[in-house]
């Protein structure tokens, strides 16, 4: 029988069988350890056999129950703890000391007393060696004969990296082969039995150790540091994975199961700014809160964070049955006892909105319900305008009628100098809220929060790129120069809640989105992190990146501000702007004309009225031509 088959059979044995094998082995080898000790003391095998052999066997067997009391037979051998070995060593010492003391007290000279001390060393060496050997055999049995383990380089030779390397020694999937570390004092040293390389020697390490993947294992690193570390290794031609942050690790211990794919958030995310507790709870704690569009990406995250602030009630409104069901079920599992009310319906339903606010006594509204997919709204302008503009108008009117304290509109960077119906409709929704702030005269505080794309939202390019890479390409982008702002959904939701708490009425709050990202660069990073190459002369079989052309209404660059009238706020990542508004009486007339165009299903008239309402709404081709001309002059 081969070693692998033996190890496999041993691994598949029941725990009781393994215990019996272990005890049986000790029953044989511990008396032999005692005999070995006497041999070492007397210098002769014959003399040792002739020296009270039955007493030697008895002393060896006497050790078994003592080791059992020390917990040695209750420990899983593959995960043997050094503390158990220490306890076993102390137990052996207790046996030797007790027998030695009794022999000295009673003047018994059956065995040389010094042989007992030798027995402690021999028996302890046997216990340690046998357990580690058994663990190695069992780990060998866990491995699949025809599936080699993935040879892994660990970036970070600190505590987490060493723990991960140790965990990989028990894994059937991964095998740690070397470390990478930026610290000079660690380089060229050995950690957990593995050599530590400088990141500058990455190519040598990958070649010499046949590395098949790299795991970044520095959980204490900040978001910026992680981005830097990932970029150092993403071009190695092997997949890159990551160990999560310290707060995500269970008990701070690194395990193989913690390894995950590098997410785009690791490349684009920023170090989180802890929420200001005063701002975070002002409009949510002990308040009845309504979230429209509760089943959407932003709406659902708003609900999660609001529930954690223990409102008196959370009211969920969405017109998608599945989305509403999903978010309600999730929230009920972690609602902290907060009463939930899930309502299926549209923000266009005036009677429904009034009934919700009157029945529940709504105090705070986060209006996230909107159609936001640019090409879809461009092709369905009537419905986009109805939902985004007149839905917002109904929410604002109901908020004023029912004395809601705070009403916050979730807006978008596409509302700034829009080139599509979606952006123009969201800018019109902002105008509605600005006019409502003037009408409310402080009784209801209306404000708007504007930000760009959020990672992981429905329609995001990230999951699309991932699917295309897994399929072997091509990865499709709309234009080589297109850029977008990105933010993580949890951070966006936190900032929305805090921005709304700072409102005095009519402000447009703009979230700090960081630097804009070229979508082509994002695609290239995702390809490299998958261990693949972009198709070019050097890599003709790589993943091709194809520009398929801008979609209807899409522009190359997004902006966050219409004008320069912007000031800082109480929060370092939120700015406040006062922007052009339309006087309420004039806005009413313009909205009435827009409504007639919608009801008449006259798209040409609808677009004309929308441009009257949002004069900065210009054709995308015109705006993109100007941007391309600027690029050409650079």
**Which pLDDT score, from 0 to 100, does residue 354 have?**
95
Least confident span in 67-71, 366-370, 399-403? 67-71
Percentage of the chain lying above the pLDDT 90 cut: 32
Q: DSSP string covering 55-86, please? A: HHHHHHHHHHHHHHHTTGGGS-GGG--HHHHH
Q: pLDDT value at position 271?
A: 67
Q: Is the pLDDT of residue 270 over 70?
A: no
Fold equal for 150-262 and 277-458+485-515+558-624: yes
Q: What pLDDT sits at residue 103?
A: 67
90 vs 73: CA distance, rounded Å: 15
> In the chain, what are the domain boundaries?
3-142, 150-262, 277-458+485-515+558-624
User: For residue 320, what pLDDT is reported?
Assistant: 95
For 399-414, the three-class secondary structure string (H helix, E strand, C coil) is HHHCCCCEEEEEEEHH
Tokens for 623, please give them: 């705006």
Q: Are 284 and 494 in contact (CB under 8 A)?
A: no
Distance CA 5, CA 11 (A): 10
Condensed to tens digits (0 to 9), the pLDDT of residues 601-632 reads: 888 999 999 999 999 998 877 777 776 676 66
Give the integer Cα–Cα distance in Å for 469 and 567: 43
Considering only CA atoms, which of 486, 508, 488 is closest in space to residue 499?
508
CA–CA dist 496, 503 (Å, integer): 11
Residue closest to 186 by CA, chosen among 231, 154, 221, 227: 154
At residue 174, the pLDDT reads 85
Instruction: Name which residue leads in pLDDT, 454 or 251.
Output: 454
CA distance 365 to 351: 17
Higher pLDDT: 601 or 295? It is 295
Query: Which CATH topology does 277-458+485-515+558-624 take?
Result: Rossmann fold (3.40.50)
Evaluate if residue 250 carries a pLDDT over 50: no
CATH topology of domain 150-262: Rossmann fold (3.40.50)
Model pLDDT, residue 139: 59
User: Which one is predicted more confidently, 426 or 567?
Assistant: 426
Alpha helices in 441-536 (DSSP H): 461-470, 489-502, 519-529
Distance (Å, rounded) from C-alpha 187 to C-alpha 355?
68
What is the mean pLDDT of the segment spanning 267-275?
69
Q: Say yes or no to pLDDT of 576 above 80.
A: yes
């Amino acid at each position: 029988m081969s070693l692998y088959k033996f190890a496999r059979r041993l691994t598949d044995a029941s725990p009781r069988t393994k215990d019996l094998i272990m005890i049986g082995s000790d029953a044989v080898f511990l008396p032999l350890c005692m005999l070995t000790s006497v041999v070492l003391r007397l210098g002769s095998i014959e003399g040792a056999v002739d020296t009270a052999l039955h007493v030697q066997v008895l002393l060896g067997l006497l050790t078994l129950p003592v080791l059992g009391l020390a917990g040695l037979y209750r420990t899983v051998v593959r995960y043997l703890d050094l503390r158990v070995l220490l306890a076993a060593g102390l137990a052996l010492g207790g046996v030797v000391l007790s027998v030695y003391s009794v022999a000295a007290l009673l003047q018994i000279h059956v065995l040389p007393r010094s042989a007992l001390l030798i027995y402690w060393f021999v028996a302890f060496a046997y216990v340690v060696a046998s357990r580690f050997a058994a663990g190695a055999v069992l780990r060998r049995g866990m491995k699949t004969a025809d599936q080699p383990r993935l040879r892994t380089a660990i970036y970070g030779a600190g505590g987490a990296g060493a723990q991960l390397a140790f965990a990989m020694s028990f894994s059937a999937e991964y095998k740690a082969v070397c470390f990478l570390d930026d610290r000079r004092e660690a380089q060229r040293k050995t950690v957990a039995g593995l050599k530590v390389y400088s990141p500058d020697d990455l190519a040598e390490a990958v070649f010499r150790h046949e590395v098949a993947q790299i795991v970044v294992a520095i959980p204490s690193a900040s978001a910026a540091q992680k981005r830097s570390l990932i970029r150092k290794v993403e071009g190695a031609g092997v997949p890159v994975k990551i160990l999560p942050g310290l707060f995500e690790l269970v008990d701070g211990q690194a395990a193989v199961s913690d390894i995950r794919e590098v997410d785009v958030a690791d490349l684009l995310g920023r170090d989180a700014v802890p929420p200001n507790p005063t701002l975070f709870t002002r409009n949510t704690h002990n308040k009845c809160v309504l979230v429209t569009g509760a089943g959407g990406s932003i709406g659902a995250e708003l609900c999660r964070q609001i529930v954690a602030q223990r409102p008196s009630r959370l009211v969920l409104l969405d017109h998608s049955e599945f989305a509403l069901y999903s978010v309600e079920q999730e929230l009920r599992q972690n609602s902290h006892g907060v009463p939930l009310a899930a309502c299926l319906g549209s923000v266009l339903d005036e009677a429904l909105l009034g009934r919700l606010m009157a029945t529940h006594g709504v105090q705070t509204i986060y209006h996230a319900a909107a159609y936001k997919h640019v090409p879809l709204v461009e092709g369905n302008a009537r419905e986009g305008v109805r939902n985004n503009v007149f839905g917002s108008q109904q929410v604002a009117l109901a908020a004023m009628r029912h004395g809601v304290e705070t009403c916050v509109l979730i807006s978008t960077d596409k509302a700034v100098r829009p080139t599509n119906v979606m952006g123009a409709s969201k800018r019109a929704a902002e105008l509605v809220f600005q006019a409502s702030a003037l009408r409310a005269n402080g009784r209801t505080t209306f404000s708007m929060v504007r930000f760009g794309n959020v990672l992981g939202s429905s329609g995001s390019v990230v999951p699309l790129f991932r699917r295309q890479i897994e399929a072997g390409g091509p990865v499709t982008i709309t234009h080589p120069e297109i850029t977008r702002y990105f933010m993580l959904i949890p951070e966006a939701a936190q900032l929305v809640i805090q921005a709304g708490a700072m409102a005095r009425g009519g402000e447009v709050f703009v979230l700090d989105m960081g630097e804009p990202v070229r979508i082509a660069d994002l695609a290239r990073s995702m390809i490299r992190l998958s261990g693949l190459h972009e198709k070019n002369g050097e890599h003709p079989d790589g993943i091709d990146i194809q520009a398929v052309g801008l979609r209807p209404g899409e522009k190359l660059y997004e902006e966050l501000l219409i004008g320069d009238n912007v000031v800082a706020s109480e929060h370092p990542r939120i700015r406040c702007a006062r922007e052009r508004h339309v006087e309420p009486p004039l806005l009413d007339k313009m909205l009435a004309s827009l409504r007639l165009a919608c009801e008449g299903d006259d798209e040409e008239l609808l677009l004309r009225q929308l441009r009257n309402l949002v004069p900065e709404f210009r054709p995308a081709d015109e705006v993109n031509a100007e941007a391309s001309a600027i690029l050409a002059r650079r």
